[in-house]
A and B are shown apart, each in its own frame.
Chain A
Amino acid sequence: MLPVLIVLTAIELGSGIVLDTFEGTLLRYPTLLVLVPVTIGMAGNLGSILAARLSTALHLGLLSFDTDDDRLVGNAVATIGLAVTVFPLVGAGAWGLQTFLADARLPLATVVAVALTSGVVLAALAVAVTTVTTYAAYRFELDPDDVVIPVVTNVCDVLGVLVLFGAVEVLV
C-alpha cells in the first residue's frame, strides 16, 4: 500500500502548493481559511461514503455498472442531495464562528453562496470520480477497499481546493 500512499501524497502536495499560492487571500479573508478543511473534507466524505457503499455492493455481487442500475443511480442522487443539504449549513457555520471569534469581513450570503456552489460542483465531480475509479478497480481485479477510497478522497481534496478558489474568484 505504501507506493500508492506516496503517489497520493505527491498529488496532495499539488493542492498544498495551490493553498500556498493563495495564502495572501486566505489571510485577508480568514472565513475562507476556516472553510478550507471543511470543504475539502466534505467533498472527500461524500466520495468515500459513495465509494464504501459501491464497494460493499460489489463485494456482495449486487452492483452492475449500467446507467440504469438502481443502486448506482440512487446513490448518485443521494450524494447530490446531501451536498445541497449540508454545504449551505457549512457556509453559515463558518461565517457564524468567524463572526463570533474574530471579525467576518465577508457577508453571510456570499459565504453561503461560495459553500453551496463549491458543494454542488464537488458532489457532481465526486460521483464521476468514484464511479470511474470503482469501475477501474473492478476491471483490473483490485480490491476496491484498498484502492477506491484513497484515490477518491485525494482527488476530491485537490478538486476541493481548486473548486473553492474557483467559487471565490467568481463570487467574492
Chain B
Amino acid sequence: MTVREVAEAAYRESLPVLALSASGGLFAGVVLGGMDAELKQVAGLLVLVPALLATRGNVYGSLGARLGSALHQGLVDPTFSTDDKRVNAAVAAALANGVMVSGIAAFLTVALLAVLGRPAAPLSTLVAIALLAGLVSGVLLTVAVVSVVFVGYRRGLNPDTLAGPVVTTTGDVVGIATLLVATRLVLALGGG
C-alpha cells in the first residue's frame, strides 16, 4: 500500500466515528455547561472531571482494545454469552479497576487541593460521588463496549477503529451524566 492509499483508508474508516464522537462530546459539553451550580457548590468537582472521564476512556477503551485484538487473533467469538471465561475476566477486571480508580481520584483531588491551599468539599462527599458515578457508568459502558465491538466485528467493521472513539464518546456523555446524577443524589442525601 502506498502512503496515499493508507491515508485515504484510515481517513475514510475513521471520519464517521469521529463525527459521531464529536456530537457526543458536544452533548457532554452542554451537560457540563449546565452543571455550573453543582460545580460551584462542590469545590473540587471540576478538578475531578478530566480524571473521571479519562478513567472511563482508559478502562473501557482498554477493554475494547483487548476484545478487538482477541477477535483479530481468533481467540474470542463475537457472540453474546455468559460462559466465555476470557470475556468475563476482562469485564470483571475493567469494572473493578474503574470503580477503584474513581475512588482513588477523589482521595488524590482532596489531598492535592489541601497541598495547594485551595478550597475542597469534604473527602466523604467527593469519594461518595466518585464511587457512585464510577459504578453506574461502569455497568453502562461495559454493555456499550461489548455490544459495539461484537456487532461491529460481525458486520465486517474493524473493531480497532470503532472501539476507541465509541468508548471515549459514550464515556464522556455517560461519565458527565452519571457524575451529575451522583452529585445531585449525594447532595440530596446530606453530603456537601
User: Whose C-beta in chain A lies nearest to the C-beta of B116?
Assistant: A17
In angstroms, how far is the closest chain B Cβ from the Cβ of A164?
12
In angstroms, how far is the closest chain B Cβ from the Cβ of A126?
12
Interface size of B in residues (CB-CB distance below 8 Å): 70
Q: Does A150 contact B58, Cβ atoms closer than 8 Å?
A: yes
Q: Per-residue 0/1 for B7-31: is the Cβ within 8 Å of any A Cβ (1 yes, 0 no)?
A: 1111100110111011111101110
Partner of B28 from A6, A38, A56 at Cβ < 8 Å: A38
Since A16-B47, A75-B10, A79-B10 are in contact, a sample of 17 more A-B pairs with Cβ atoms closer than 8 Å, ordered by chain A residue number, is: A2-B101, A8-B54, A12-B105, A13-B108, A19-B49, A20-B46, A33-B36, A35-B29, A41-B28, A41-B172, A49-B164, A53-B160, A53-B161, A59-B73, A74-B3, A74-B5, A77-B7
The SS class assigned to the B binding surface is: helix
Question: Please, which residues of chain B bring their CB within 8 A of the CB of A23?
Answer: 39, 46
User: Whose C-beta in chain A lies nearest to the C-beta of B175?
Assistant: A37
Question: Please, which residues of chain B bring their CB within 8 A of the CB of A37?
Answer: 25, 28-29, 32, 53, 172, 176
Q: Does A52 contact B (CB under 8 A)?
A: yes
In angstroms, how far is the closest chain B Cβ from the Cβ of A83?
9
Q: Does A55 contact B (CB under 8 A)?
A: yes
In angstroms, how far is the closest chain B Cβ from the Cβ of A5?
5
